Chain A
């Protein structure tokens, strides 16, 4: 049995901080969100759970249900310069559709956030980090611009996690997770 399998069979427990990497590893820069999540996973920050997701919206809503704070990492296709980094706080900014590269039957990250907001089902702290992609064809490597941006964005995500953890309401929860 693969490690991947062992992990997946483990019962679901939610950490107070959930990092979700969204993307497709065989569509070049679409893997940016997954690569970011992998960076965070390797840092083994207590109280932080990192998961990978293909971006199907309704399943995403199930994935983040019950988490206190959610950080979604995803590739962006907005027409801006490749490698451009984004941070969206969905309590402040409306997430526009078509912003993220991947959607499954057009019900992806943006739609899931909007529907969850409407249904009152969005975790209280919800931030999205994105990197503008360049190449979304078939392939397993990131473009140079995106690869160059990964480390800096991962650093910003780590700083955000530390800021969340330092908040009083997360103090007790993070040691328990």
Chain B
């Protein structure tokens, strides 16, 4: 964090500038300009170089997309694997049910646990407690850091057992898995998951005890919604402002546009404006599909059924961690080994759509393939890109209310506000430094 270290009064001009936002994935910056006590500009800049994955996919076989796109992110490869697999199966007119579908949910639960716990305890909590990082925080909060490390490991173990290894899993493919885990391999995870479920409840209580800046916004929440379950791999795209579409209507509803200050495309709802994807949206529009224990624990710590304070996303991530532990336990208990680990899928010419809930929010893939299964075009819309305009909008509302803070304090709060979104700039790539300009 760099910036003017002098304190300023609200009526002065200043610039908040964070050259490299810490504790976010990838390279980006934030620029905030204040003149004569008035907020003039907020820009979230993503300058992680574009990866051109979409171009790289053209000409490859439809079966290669999962493992190629999984390399877009080291934190959420399962999201990319699941999303591209669903899109390819959709293009080929195949729908997979039974144990394979359940295994896909299970491995996604593993990724949610590891990603959410990393962000909640190691990256976001230090903001609330006034520490520069988790290492300094660990000196005063050793127990929570140790619990978080063990909790995250439970998520890693799910990914390792189902995905073949915890880093860049290699076991998922179009049609299913290369190898289905044996029942006993999954059952072996149950004891740790029961501990994780109990620890997640403690994590919810602990995060709910933090102090939250006062900010409630009238977001358009966008999320997948499924008739019977909390959304992971399937559902319709819905919002609290009337949206209810199949995922194939993504591009007729959402618009992507280039802006000069970011390598990542900005997304809006056509003719309406910014929207929010991620834990707040999922939770607020799918509260009824959380487990009774997750609902009860959320309500018991004072979280409403709808959460509009982006800073409280840290509690919501903890609630989703509890949900993921319980869902994983349910799947493991009911699991029956499939006769075959995958369904052989013959390619057919056409377009397919995949939309899943990555830890950071809705991830969308679409591919067009020919009759040989060669990819003709590919488009990927990651959650962080969709949230960019909303992050800027949060800051436009937040900064004017806190101009009495010193530049150091205001810069800190701005970074914290960006980290509400656990932004994954590497995924957005088409993204963070912070600059508060008030002269």
With contact pairs A115-B145, A119-B142 given, residues A56 and B49 touching in the complex (Cβ less than 8 Å): no
Of B35-43, B148-156, B223-231, B260-268, the one contacting chain A is: B148-156
Q: Which residues of B contact A61 (CB under 8 A)?
A: 149
Q: Which residues of B contact A104 (CB under 8 A)?
A: 25, 74-75
A26 sits at the interface (CB 8 A) = yes
**A8 contacts B49, C-beta separation under 8 Å:** no
A125 sits at the interface (CB 8 A) = no
**A8 contacts B25, C-beta separation under 8 Å:** no
Of A72-80, A105-113, A163-171, the one contacting chain B is: A105-113
CA distance A59 to B133 in the complex (A): 17
- Distance of B202 from chain A, by nearest CB (Å): 18
CA distance A55 to B75 in the complex (A): 11
- Distance of A97 from chain B, by nearest CB (Å): 8
**B146 contacts A138, C-beta separation under 8 Å:** no
**Contact flags (1/0) for A4-25 with B, using CB distance below 8 Å?**
1100110000000000000010
A-B contact pairs, 9 of them (CB 8 A): A1-B179, A2-B178, A5-B178, A53-B167, A56-B74, A58-B122, A106-B133, A111-B133, A118-B138
Most buried by A among B118, B123, B146: B118
**B134 contacts A137, C-beta separation under 8 Å:** no
**B75 contacts A105, C-beta separation under 8 Å:** yes
B165 sits at the interface (CB 8 A) = yes
**A5 contacts B167, C-beta separation under 8 Å:** no
- Distance of A148 from chain B, by nearest CB (Å): 26
Which A-chain residue is minimally distant from B159 (CB atoms)?
Answer: A59
**B139 contacts A58, C-beta separation under 8 Å:** no
**Contact flags (1/0) for A86-120 with B, using CB distance below 8 Å?**
00000000000000000011110001001100110
**Contact flags (1/0) for B15-35 with A, using CB distance below 8 Å?**
000000011110000000000
11 other A-B residue contacts (CB within 8 Å) besides A1-B179, A119-B146: A58-B153, A59-B156, A59-B166, A104-B25, A104-B75, A105-B75, A105-B122, A105-B123, A107-B23, A111-B133, A137-B49
**B118 contacts A58, C-beta separation under 8 Å:** yes
**Contact flags (1/0) for B186-206 with A, using CB distance below 8 Å?**
000000000000000000000
Which A-chain residue is minimally distant from B423 (CB atoms)?
Answer: A105
Q: Which residues of A contact B74 (CB under 8 A)?
A: 24, 54-56, 104
User: A4 contacts which of B138, B170, B179 (Cβ < 8 Å)?
Assistant: B170
B71 sits at the interface (CB 8 A) = yes
B282 sits at the interface (CB 8 A) = no
- Distance of A59 from chain B, by nearest CB (Å): 6
CA distance A137 to B123 in the complex (A): 26
- Distance of A7 from chain B, by nearest CB (Å): 8
CA distance A139 to B434 in the complex (A): 29
B135 sits at the interface (CB 8 A) = yes
B217 sits at the interface (CB 8 A) = no
**B22 contacts A106, C-beta separation under 8 Å:** yes
**B171 contacts A5, C-beta separation under 8 Å:** yes
Q: Which residues of B contact A24 (CB under 8 A)?
A: 74
B contact residues vs A (CB 8 Å cutoff): 22-25, 49, 51-52, 71, 74-75, 118-119, 122-123, 133-135, 138-139, 142, 145-146, 149, 152-153, 156, 160, 164-168, 170-171, 178-179, 422
Which A-chain residue is minimally distant from B170 (CB atoms)?
Answer: A5
**B170 contacts A2, C-beta separation under 8 Å:** yes
Q: Which residues of A contact B166 (CB under 8 A)?
A: 59
With contact pairs A5-B164, A105-B123 given, residues A138 and B135 touching in the complex (Cβ less than 8 Å): no
- Distance of B240 from chain A, by nearest CB (Å): 29
Q: Which residues of A contact B71 (CB under 8 A)?
A: 26
**B122 contacts A54, C-beta separation under 8 Å:** no
With contact pairs A26-B71, A115-B138, A118-B135 given, residues A56 and B167 touching in the complex (Cβ less than 8 Å): yes
**B24 contacts A111, C-beta separation under 8 Å:** no
Which A-chain residue is minimally distant from B169 (CB atoms)?
Answer: A8
Q: Which residues of A contact B23 (CB under 8 A)?
A: 105-107
CA distance A117 to B122 in the complex (A): 16
With contact pairs A5-B171, A9-B164, A56-B74 given, residues A106 and B149 touching in the complex (Cβ less than 8 Å): no
Most buried by A among B23, B135, B142, B165: B135
Which B-chain residue is minimally distant from A7 (CB atoms)?
Answer: B165
Q: Which residues of B contact A1 (CB under 8 A)?
A: 178-179
- Distance of B412 from chain A, by nearest CB (Å): 15
**A105 contacts B119, C-beta separation under 8 Å:** yes
Q: Which residues of A contact B167 (CB under 8 A)?
A: 52-54, 56, 59
- Distance of B380 from chain A, by nearest CB (Å): 16
Q: Which residues of A contact B122 (CB under 8 A)?
A: 57-58, 105, 107
CA distance A159 to B146 in the complex (A): 35
Q: Which residues of A contact B145 (CB under 8 A)?
A: 115, 119
CA distance A48 to B214 in the complex (A): 54
Which A-chain residue is minimally distant from B148 (CB atoms)?
Answer: A58
CA distance A112 to B117 in the complex (A): 16
- Distance of B171 from chain A, by nearest CB (Å): 7
CA distance A107 to B51 in the complex (A): 22
Q: Which residues of A contact B49 (CB under 8 A)?
A: 137-138
Q: Which residues of A contact B164 (CB under 8 A)?
A: 5, 8-9
Q: Which residues of A contact B152 (CB under 8 A)?
A: 58-59
Q: Which residues of B contact A8 (CB under 8 A)?
A: 160, 164-165, 170
With contact pairs A5-B164, A59-B156 given, residues A114 and B179 touching in the complex (Cβ less than 8 Å): no
